[in-house]
């Protein structure tokens, strides 16, 4: 079994794909776009041209992105995506890249569970945590 989150970006999915390809060096695995006349029972009016699903590989993980069928802009609450990176230099690069146009909530610092930890809300509104290295926690 595998968990693959789907992140909905109403009206912004193409921008999200471009943003994450650049900032996270992610790979677009596939992109399915709604076609005119395609399965109208599943697609509301105005769907042709929208990304109905795209697969994005971030490191060893996969997430799906979609325009969704939600009115208004994206809303993200109650979760965070966590990136475990190779070292502190990569953590700094990723935090800075995701923070451009966003909001760095926790600058990189040592914690009880990681040698390097930071948190950011990117310009699309997604909350990320970035960490590198682990610390031994005494039992």
Q: Could you give the domains of the chain?
A: 6-66 (3.30.720.100), 81-134 (3.30.720.110)
How many CB atoms within 10 Å of residue 28? 14
Q: What is the pLDDT of residues 66-125, one digit of tens each?
A: 988 777 777 888 999 999 999 999 999 999 999 999 999 999 999 999 999 999 999 999
What is the model's pTM? 0.86
Angle (nearest 5°) at CA 39 between 36 and 44: 75
Percent share of the chain, pLDDT over 90: 69
Confidence of residue 137 (pLDDT cuts 50, 70, 90): low
pLDDT at 45: 55
Q: How far is the C-alpha of 33 from the C-alpha of 99, rounded, in Å?
A: 29
Q: What is the pLDDT of residues 37-54, one digit of tens each?
A: 655 555 555 566 789 899
Q: How far is the C-alpha of 122 from the C-alpha of 103, rounded, in Å?
A: 6
Q: How far is the C-alpha of 67 from the C-alpha of 52, rounded, in Å?
A: 6
CB 66 within 8 A of CB 6: yes
| Average pLDDT of span 115-137 | 91
pLDDT at residue 10 tops 80 = yes
Q: How far is the C-alpha of 125 from the C-alpha of 81, rounded, in Å?
A: 12
């Amino acid at each position: 079994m595998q968990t693959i989150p789907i992140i909905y970006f109403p009206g912004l999915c193409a921008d999200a794909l471009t943003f994450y390809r650049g900032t996270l060096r992610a790979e677009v695995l596939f992109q399915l776009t709604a076609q005119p006349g395609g399965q109208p029972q599943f697609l509301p009016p105005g769907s042709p041209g929208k990304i109905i699903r795209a697969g994005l590989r971030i490191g060893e993980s996969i997430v799906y992105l979609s325009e969704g069928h939600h009115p208004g802009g994206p809303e993200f609450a109650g979760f965070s995506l966590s990136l475990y990176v190779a070292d502190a230099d990569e953590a700094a690069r990723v935090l800075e890249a995701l923070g451009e146009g966003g909001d760095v909530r926790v600058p990189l610092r040592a914690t009880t569970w990681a040698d390097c930890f930071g948190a950011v809300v990117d310009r699309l509104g997604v909350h990320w945590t970035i960490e590198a290295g682990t610390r031994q926690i005494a039992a």
